[in-house]
Amino acid sequence: MGDADRAAGGEKRDYESCVRRLEEIVGQLERADLPLEESVRLFEEGMALSQECRRQLDAAEGKIEMLVKRGNSAPSAEPFEIKDE
13, 4 contact by CB (below 8 A): yes
Query: Where do the structural domains in the chain lie, given as residue ranges?
Result: 15-63
Q: Is the dihedral of CA 38, 34, 6, 23 positive or negative?
A: negative
**pLDDT, tens digit, 9 for 90 and up, residues 6-40:** 443 445 789 999 999 999 999 999 988 999 999 99
Q: What is the predicted pLDDT for the residue at 68?
A: 84
Q: Is 10 left (phi over 0), alpha (psi -120 to 50) or beta?
A: left
Say whether pTM exceeds 0.75: no
**Phi, psi (rounded to 5 degrees) for 46:** -60, -40
Centre a 10 Å sphere on the Cβ of residue 21 and count the other Cβ atoms it contains: 19
